[in-house]
Amino acid sequence: MRHAPYIEAPALTEAPAPAPTMQVLLIIAPENFRDEEYAEPRAVFEAAGYTVVVASASLETATGMLGMEVQPDLLLADVQVGDYDAVVFIGGVGAAVYWDDPQTHRIAQEAVAAEKVVGAICIAPVILARAGVLEGKQATVFKGNCGELEAGGAICDSDIPVQRDGLIVTANGPAAATAFGEAVLDALAE
């Protein structure tokens, strides 16, 4: 009696991780974003080979607190989080317009759910707190705003210039802009 040859079943493997898109999304306010919080991280990302895409609530030229002008590439409503490796919220007093904005909350929530790197600098971490994605996370923010983060469940220390907790990177203001960009890049590299 002949037996059928033994054929080994293929091993079950996890689905491969999606390939990096090599794109970083920067979200800026239409007015009064903080110039260096935009320019310095952008330079860090581009030097590492990432394409930077800029989203805002308007496609009109955005103006920074120090006079920088930036032409957004797309509206917040058109952002598809899956197109980016990281989503970064830029600060400046204008960022407060997004604190309770449903589109920025959707973007933050989708990015965290998709295990993307998420960054926010200056007062922009308040967007993350109000979107409900900082629960139990170590974070920093511009002085005087820790209460906002703590209300969202974060553990806040505004004296720390850059704070990373997993894939979430926060920074407390313009002086930390380059280090913030580098911390986001480090998170992308892991």
User: Which amino acid is located at 93 in the chain?
Assistant: V
pTM of full prediction above 0.85: yes
Alpha helices in the chain (DSSP H): 35-47, 102-113, 125-130, 146-151, 177-189
- Residue positions counted in the chain: 190
pLDDT in tens, 55-89: 999 999 999 999 999 999 999 999 999 999 999 99
CATH number assigned to the domain covering 23-189: 3.40.50.880
pLDDT in tens, 13-66: 555 555 678 999 999 999 999 999 999 999 999 999 999 999 999 999 999 999
pLDDT in tens, 81-95: 999 999 999 999 999
